[in-house]
Amino acid sequence: MMDVVSRILPYFLSLIDRIDDSPLTMTLKSIIDRLKSVGAKDSHIALIMRAACGIVPWPRVDDERLPKAVRGVLVETKRAFDSAVQPAVVERDEVTRSVKFVFALKDGHTIETVLLPRDGVCVSSQVGCAVGCVFCMTGRSGLIRQLTDLEIVSQVLEAKKLRPETKKVVFMGMGEPSHNLANVMSAIDFLGTYSAIGHKNLVLSTVGDKRVFEALETSRVKPALAISLHSTIEEKRRQLLPKAGKITIEELVEKAEIYARATGYPTQYQWTLIDGVNDGKDELANLVALLKGHYAMVNFIGVNAIDNSPYRRPSEDKIKACVTALRKEGVVCTLRDSAAQRIEGGCGQLRSRTLKVRGDLKGATCEEKAIQSEVTP
């Protein structure tokens, strides 16, 4: 696998030099403000944004539906969308249909994005992460910088170029969305308005923060909600997620339940199973007590082994027993199978391998996986 990454290094380094030199601070708002400054009306903006999402063809420079001045900035507008992120590395798994990207940003940093098997895409919201989840590669890097709303949306647009039928976006990649809330909510609003992706197919994942619920209450686009729980025991959860929001598990579940009932979307509780840590009978009993009767479901996924980590995936029998235990008590539970188990590829490992070759390890994440490597020339 390292040989594969080594082969793409010259391309990866040269890519940074080829990225468009428009400002790093370009945002969705700045693009729309630029269009408005030359006379674009709401209908013109909607047409161009839908074209950026691949819903309709990109307007021609002689398209009479648009004022002449607006047609004059079409090229720079398209360039802004096309240059925000650039695919540097692509790994595919033809069996599961997973595709993992390492995207290069204009400042040389990189992020991971994953096309999921069932026509979804997992996007990053930050370079690095401040939460410091002990079982995640990204947690080792700390927060490097926030992604702009344009960089978040552009991950989806690039994914749709490869797989136009993409119809679900999960904010479960690098970073904690609640720590970049304004940009994440702006990206959700954009996708929910222009991309033809249903609101319930936009899934905001968070470790839990009161500000998330405040933002959701006022948002015109109502995404589904996923909570990274991982333990029902406060002290243990703080150990696993050292810098999660200051909200108790009980309050977090209560607020999530209110939102789920209001939107009609069940809350998804994400639970990374770690052998001997959070797969015991005490945790399962607590989960039943916490969630039985709630409009919710539990998604179990075995932890991905990462370098120098003591955390290991439970046996398959033990994982299945955890699922069965919840189902017997009436709690909806699924087992998410990560193809990353077959190679070192989950939880940011593709990105970290790439950065190791550069001598610039900064960490990364995404729960789904890809296998066979190839370079995008």
Residues assigned a catalytic role: 112, 347
CB 263 within 8 A of CB 222: yes
d(CA 342, CA 144): 29
CA nearest to 178, candidates 231, 255, 117: 255
Burial 91-112 (b: 16+ CB within 10 A, else e): bbbeebebbbbbbbbbeebbbb
348: left (phi over 0), alpha (psi -120 to 50) or beta: left
Residues in Cβ contact with 250 at an 8 Å cutoff, skipping those fewer than 6 apart: 290
Encoding tokens for residue 59?
Answer: 């307007």
Do strands 98-105 and 110-116 pair parallel, antiparallel, or not at all (unpaired)?
A: antiparallel
CB 123 within 8 A of CB 169: yes
